[in-house]
Amino acid sequence: MNNPITLGRRQLLKKIGAGSALAVVGAPALAQAFSFAPSQRYPDPAVQILDPSFARYRIYSSTVEQVATGMRWAEGPVYFPGSKAGEPGHVLLSDIPNNRIMKFDEKTGAFTVWRSNANFSNGNTRDRQGRLLTCEHSVTRRVTRTERDGQITVLADRFEGKRLNAPNDIVVKSDDSIWFTDPLFGINGEWEGARAKPEQASTNVYRLGADGQLTAVITDLVNPNGLAFSPDETKLYVVEWKGTPNRSIWSFDLQPDGRLANKTKLIDAADQGALDGFKVDRDGNLWCGWGSNGALAAEPLDVGGRQVYPLRGRSEDLDGVMVFNPQGKAIGFIRLPERCANLTFGGPKNNRLYMASSHSLYALYVESHGAV
């Protein structure tokens, strides 16, 4: 079951422009597939320059593509290179409510179920040996590694004798230590797993050393979410989902012994924006999943004779990827028709941005490269 499979699916390839195709997966738990047409104009108006410094990262003749759709809540994309340098690879990503991990194949465009009964997996990444690391954020509530033969090794499921909350996002440092966040999302309800009572007193960020020792390195953030290192690994960035007054990214100085110091708010998601997962490029810019935070307006509007409380801020203006420079200034925005929860750099040259967005996976070639 841990090898690439295509259980319960049918593939539909829909032409959307010369030489391009949209892969749609069918399954018993299929969500609605959303149609999408790429921009016919260059440069793509969806790629917005908020500061002149972002212009260098936009490719004039590259447009946003929808490469796959048919999920219920797409999360945790991770890229695996081809077997030889320069060859196409594949993306794995979680479809959390459908309890499966999906696979998008760059060479064929196929979009298939890679693992079913995935324990409501959320964040995924590769370790330094090229193996899949996964945050199973409900039911099992653990961090696992998929070995090359498909066997699953449990890396962490308890801290100080108590079950983890709901492992969410995960990164690996060059010393082979594994860092992951542990909020409550996977046990708060029945949509992304199974409701359960938390056993941990706080929602922590953990470091799992190469020696197997698990340490809570951050204990004072409310529902930490996405996390990433700066390119030189001197800083750790962490999203706080329940930030005050808005969601935030905190910056920590990373000491050689693994301790963190100098907690500083780098980014405040104002204007009703919602930070989630993010990645850092080689220049230290933060490419962040973005969308509405769901907050309601203070007063209702009349809609068809009903008093309806709208969102504060329009989703269609917020959905996409916000790019910040290392100083925390917003420099670019990639507008998408769906909210982007998480993203990763991939492609044979590590310059293709894959964006897991609600029901779909989008891609855009950029003049930037992932830091890892």
| DSSP labels, 301-329 | EEETTEEE--BSS-HHHH-EEEEE-TTS-
Phi/psi of residue 235, nearest 5 degrees: -135, 145
The CA distance from 208 to 60, in Å, is 42
For residue 231, give both structure tokens.
């390119």
Query: pTM score, two decimals?
Result: 0.92
Beta partners for residue 115, in sequence order: 101
The CA distance from 52 to 258, in Å, is 36
Taken in order of first residue, the domains within the chain and their CATH numbers are 47-300+307-365 (2.120.10.30)
- Strand 235-240: give its sheet, edge to edge: 224-229, 235-240, 248-254, 260-268
Distances in Å between the Cα of 281 and the Cα atoms of 144, 192, 248 are 26, 30, 19
Residue where the block lists tokens 């990164």: 171
- Name residues whose C-beta falls within 8 Å of residue 267's C-beta, 6 or more positions apart in sequence: 248, 249, 275, 286, 288, 324, 328
Q: For strands 21-25 and 65-69, give the pairing.
A: parallel
Long-range residue pairs from 48-52, CB within 8 A, at least 24 positions apart, any chain: 48/332, 48/333, 48/334, 48/335, 49/331, 49/332, 50/330, 50/331, 50/332, 50/333, 51/325, 51/329, 51/330, 51/331, 51/332
Phi/psi of residue 187, nearest 5 degrees: -120, 10
User: pLDDT value at position 20?
Assistant: 43
Give yes or no for a contact between 309 and 358, defined as CB atoms under 8 angstroms apart.
no
Q: Give the closest residue to 168 by CA, choosing from 204, 197, 199, 202.
A: 204
Q: Would you write out the chain's pLDDT as a tens digit for each of its 372 residues?
A: 343 333 333 333 333 333 344 665 654 445 567 789 999 999 999 999 999 999 999 999 999 999 999 999 999 999 999 999 889 999 999 999 999 999 999 999 999 999 999 999 999 999 999 999 999 999 999 999 999 999 999 999 999 999 999 999 999 999 999 999 999 999 999 999 999 999 999 999 999 999 999 999 999 999 999 999 999 999 999 999 976 678 999 999 999 888 999 999 999 997 778 899 999 999 999 999 999 988 898 999 999 999 999 998 888 899 999 999 999 999 999 999 999 999 999 999 999 999 999 999 999 999 999 997
State whether the Cα torsion 318-323-325-326 is positive or negative. positive
